[in-house]
Structure 1
Amino acid sequence: ALGGFSFLANLKYASFIYTTGADIGIVGNEFKPEKEIKATLIRVEDPYLAIASLLEMYNKMKLEKSGISELAYIDESAQIGEGVYIGEFAFVGKDAVLGDGVKLYPHAYVGDNSKIGDGSTVFAGARLYHDTVLGKECTIHSGVIIGSDGFGFAPNEKGEYVKVAQTGNVIIEDNVEVGSNTAIDRATIGSTIIRKGVKLDNLIQIAHNVEIGENTVIAAQTGISGSTKIGKNCMIGGQAGLAGHIKIGDNVKIQAQAGVPSNVKDGEIIMGSPSINFRQYMKSYIHFKNFQQIVDRLDELEKKVGE
């Protein structure tokens, strides 16, 4: 648009840079114009990362808020940093600690003895139960529940299920983003841990005592059962299901809707339910698609043998 800016991250779309109405175009160092371009070009190493940085700066300016609403509740024992924003009907419990620049939107809940690091944002209606530790520059979206009880019940002699008290907490390190309506359960004993740089989509269930390694990304509707350990730099597709007490290595890719019943080695790519190696799955799927033809051929062979 006139007066705006555009970017070219993929050279196969280069033709559009010549017709853009934007005043500024962000392009990679490798781009070489073949004809006149009206826009002023800014060359960068990675246009996509550059535009991401610009949008993040704009978003921070747009969401910039400060001040504490008179309608918020803050326990007198809580420690509040400088430049914070606490919206209407937000709750900050006993001995809670909010770092500098923290933002709590209306109806956010921060339980007793919880800690939120500098620059983190908790959007409207999110809940941090007691003893939760949230690092710096984290984003917690609306509807997120952090620190609810893990799913722990023990059967007694009558066949009834007795609740096992969940006495641990949740620790989330720096620069983590948690999408709307995701639930992260507290540990039975110890901590459920989300390492720095993890990105969680909406509607994810993370059970008690799970650990997720640095810079792992997980798509929506994934469920991770209790005490499972996931390595760093993993990618997990939507609706994947991981069994409990298993170990997922570093740099693993789990395809959407995979059911993972056992340990996975570093660097594996898996698919299917129960999951197997991605290449094996694709080879098997070819046979599965042709299964009826294979059966028909076997029937013909049996008839010939019978004759």
Structure 2
Amino acid sequence: MEFTLDQIAAILSGTIEGDSSATVSRLDKIQEGKPGGISFLSNEKYESFLYETKATAVIVSDTLTLQKPVKCHLIRVKNPYIGFTQLLEAYSQLTKQSKVGVEDPSYMDASASMDEGGYRGAFSYIGKNCSIGKHVKIHPQAYVGDNCVIGDYTIIHPGVKVYYDTKIGAHCEIHPGAVIGSDGFGFAPQEDGSYKTIPQIGNVIIEDHVSIGANSTIDRATMGSTHIKSGVKIDNLVQIAHNVVVGEHTVIASQSGISGSAEIGKNCVIAGQVGVVGHIKIADNTTVGAKTGISKNVTKKGQTLFGFISMDLKDFLKSYAIFRNLPQLQQRVKELEKKD
């Protein structure tokens, strides 16, 4: 796709220094810019590349004072990083929304409905009584079980499995290999030491503007719903267990696991390889560092937690300053014992 700088400036509410009719068809790093590409400069450490780049155009701050002439055209905006992000988003939406229609072979049950502007890829499956909104993209080899609801403009990528009774909101994106609504881990111990499966008869509810990464899994509830609220962003390889609630605009990084019936507040940041035990609550605006284990309720809002078992970050750093010196302290104790 090719765009004029005038079109891009309109998207970003920016002003052009140079030829507004110049065209670009590619997004480049500023240090790797080539003709036909557009880059951005937001970090002053990279300013030297502005005077060397071969990119056709660069998005810069409206307060930037040039130290010498540039060969590229400039688009001046308030915040170049946000501006470039907006451009990436616009480009992504254009490319993702390009596919429409039905590819063969694909299957949709006669009782299901799909609104205008949608796409069904080859070998995709849509079960009974499903309601699919406007401009939804269901890519090849995706499976949508019976009685599912999918909101407008949601994208289901190749190989996604959406189990029965799942409800997915509008403007969501579910990446390849994700499994939504598989059985929760429910087994009742028996007197003979064996385990009996507990039927998982609930569902999964995903609200609007949620992103779910590749090969992540969200289990259906034992009863009621596993609930992912609006704006949540889940990375690849994340496990969300049955009856978990994840609050609005919380982000969860790769390889983290949230155990059954845990409730995560809104605007939380869960870093990679975090483990959360079941049946606890984590307060709003909590940040959890990588590899941290959460084993009890977090009731104070806005904390940063780190370590296993987790503790306040400042307390952990004080403790770490002590236990990293334990070998030397042990040697000193031995030497003192010998003197006695």
Residue type at the aligned position of 2:70: I
Alignment of structure 1 residues 22-61 onto 2, 5 Å: 22-61=55-94
Give me the CA root mean square deviation.
1.2
Distance 1:140 1:32 in 2: 43
Per-residue CA deviations over 1:98-134 (Å, capped at 9, x if unaligned) read 1000000111111111010000010111000001011
TM-score, scaled to structure 2: 0.87
Task: Name the structure 2 match of 1:271.
Answer: 306
Amino acid at match of 1:101: H
- 2:261 pairs with 1:252: no
SS of residue paired to 2:60 = strand
2:290 is equivalent to residue 284 of structure 1: no
Residue identity matched to 1:301: L
Deviation at 1:290, TM superposition (A): 1.2
Instruction: Tell which deviates more after alignment, 50-59 or 101-110.
Output: 50-59
| CA deviation string 1:62-82 (max 9, x = no partner) | 231000123111000001100
The whole-number CA distance in structure 1 between the counterparts of 2:284 and 2:42 is 29
Tell me which amino acid in the other structure corresponds to 2:238: I
Is 1:205 aligned to 2:239, yes or no?
Answer: yes
CA drift at 1:32: 1.9
The Cα of 1:302 is off from its aligned counterpart by: 2.3
Q: How many percent identity over aligned positions? A: 51
Tell me which amino acid in the other structure corresponds to 2:76.
Answer: R
After TM superposition, give the deviation of residue 20 of structure 1 in Å. Answer: 1.3
DSSP 3-state at the match of 1:26: strand
Task: Compute the displacement of 1:29 (Å).
Answer: 2.9
Which consecutive unaligned segments of at least 5 residues does structure 2 have? 1-33
Matched length: 305
Give the distance between the partners of 1:191 and 1:9, measured in 2 at CA: 43
Residue deviations 1:132-171, cap 9 Å, x none?
Answer: 0111111111110000011011112322211111111001
Structure 1 spans left out of the alignment, 5+ residues: none
Specify the alignment match of 1:79 in structure 2: 113
Equivalent position to 2:143, from 101, 109, 121:
109
- SS at 1:294 equivalent: helix
**Correspondent of 2:170 among 128, 136, 139:** 136
CA distance in 2, matches of 1:3, 1:202: 33
3-state secondary structure, aligned to 1:51? helix
C-alpha deviation, 1:36, in angstroms: 1.5
Distance in 1 between the 2:78 and 2:268 partners? 25
Greater mean deviation of Cα atoms: 250-259 or 40-49: 40-49
Check the 8 A contact 1:11/1:31 in 2, yes or no.
Answer: no
Could you tell me the TM-score, scaled by structure 1's length?
Answer: 0.96
Q: Does 1:163 align with 2:214?
A: no
